[in-house]
Amino acid sequence: MVKDTSIPRHNFITRNQGLAITILVLALLPFVVGLFEGASPAQVWFNEGGTSKFIEGLAIEIFILAIFALSYDLLFGITGLLSLGHSMFFATGAYLTGILLKNFETPLGLTVLWVLGAAVINAIIFGLVLPRVKGITFALVTLGIASVFHIVIMSRELGELTGADVGLQRIPSPAFINPATERLRFYFLALAIMVFFFLVYKRFVSSPVGRVCVAIRENEGRALMLGYNTFVFKFAALTLSSITASVAGLIHALYQPIVSPNTAGLVYTIMALLVVLIGGVGTLNGALIGAAIYRLLDFGLRRYLGEMASFVNGTIYILIVLFLPYGIVGTWRLKSFDIRQGWKRLLEYFQKSK
């Protein structure tokens, strides 16, 4: 029997071709940047290349934002819950890590466990209001809860722990992943965590639970009618999302020596929303691409335009909204068939003319 080669084999690597290439590029990126600067890979390996170290730092920020945006995409894009209190999850992770490492000198492993526990508690708090309010009211209630959290963090009574409106400062990072001295290791760790969560999310979305979540987004009443207890599924998505966001906060606290109270504010939630909208709602890899574009754009504009940056930023968002209706990945998925057909026709045309 002849083996049919036209159908690609559906193993893990072929299905995630784009991801594999991305990981490869990102893994080689510091070394390539080092070469451009004249630093050998060995020097980069021992964190001696200046530019490559800087690029690594920027990339780490993108990874943190990507993990955060990914968690928001699960809640908003996949399950259809518009939450405006998402920054609370992130800030919980960041603040808890900072406080535990600085004031209680907890080992890192235990800190991670504490953060995960706090994330579950956060999810339960949001879960308590979940069955009562829907739609825009849910958004407002979550905004309210997060604002109270924000105000508590900013309050002077807790100033000894949280640093009030200045924020947590001088968080000691464990020596073996200290971003100042061991940045390459930190870079690979952050990359690994991002990829891990991305794969978990992809698996989640294609799992039965994830399919029900999509069904809830499309029509909650129908999902209820089919006999699903929608609350359980929404709560599952909420918990996973909360854990992910808290881990993003944890990496943020390890990477940045300072955690500002802004991380708990509405601004951070809006940032995640913007990233998801730029990338494409409910696409998962859109969150990663959106995070890269958002951070690079913000960084570039701030560097070259200074004061004008927000103005240009706002204009670009408006243009994206008006002309890229489904985000970058969403629009690509809609148009890729047409584009491929166009290429085919072009190639045929050239072949004929020869």
Residue 60 CA to residue 185 CA, distance in Å, equals 11
96 binds other proteins (CB under 8 A): no
Residues 184-243 that bind other proteins (CB under 8 A): none
Beta partners for 259?
168
Determine contact, residues 61/254, Cβ cutoff 8 Å.
Answer: no
Q: Pick from 70, 75, 277, 288: which binds other proteins (CB under 8 A)?
A: 277
Q: Which is nearer to other proteins, 226 or 270 (CB)?
A: 270
82 binds other proteins (CB under 8 A): yes
Per-residue binding string, other proteins, 308-347, x by CB under 8 A, is: x-xx-xxx-xx--xx--x----------------------
Long-range contacts of 298-307 (CB under 8 A, 24+ apart): 299/58
Helices 327-353 and 266-279, axial angle in degrees (round to 10): 20
Q: Is 337 exposed, middle or buried (0-12, 13-18, 19+ CB in 10 A)?
A: exposed
Q: Pick from 3, 10, 156, 303: which binds other proteins (CB under 8 A)?
A: 156
For 172-205, letters b (16+ CB in 10 Å) and e give: ebeeebebeebbbebbebbbebbbebbeebbebb
Q: Which is nearer to other proteins, 107 or 135 (CB)?
A: 135
141 binds other proteins (CB under 8 A): yes
145 binds other proteins (CB under 8 A): yes
Determine contact, residues 216/86, Cβ cutoff 8 Å.
Answer: no
Q: Which is nearer to other proteins, 45 or 317 (CB)?
A: 317
- At position 151, the amino acid (one-letter code) is I
Residue with tokens 């929608």: 230
Per-residue binding string, other proteins, 176-195, x by CB under 8 A, is: --------------------
136 binds other proteins (CB under 8 A): yes
CB of 217 to other proteins, least distance (A): 12
Which residues make up the interface to other proteins (CB under 8 A)?
Answer: 82, 129, 132-134, 136-137, 140-141, 143-145, 147-148, 151, 154-156, 270, 273-274, 277, 281, 307-308, 310-311, 313-315, 317-318, 321-322, 325
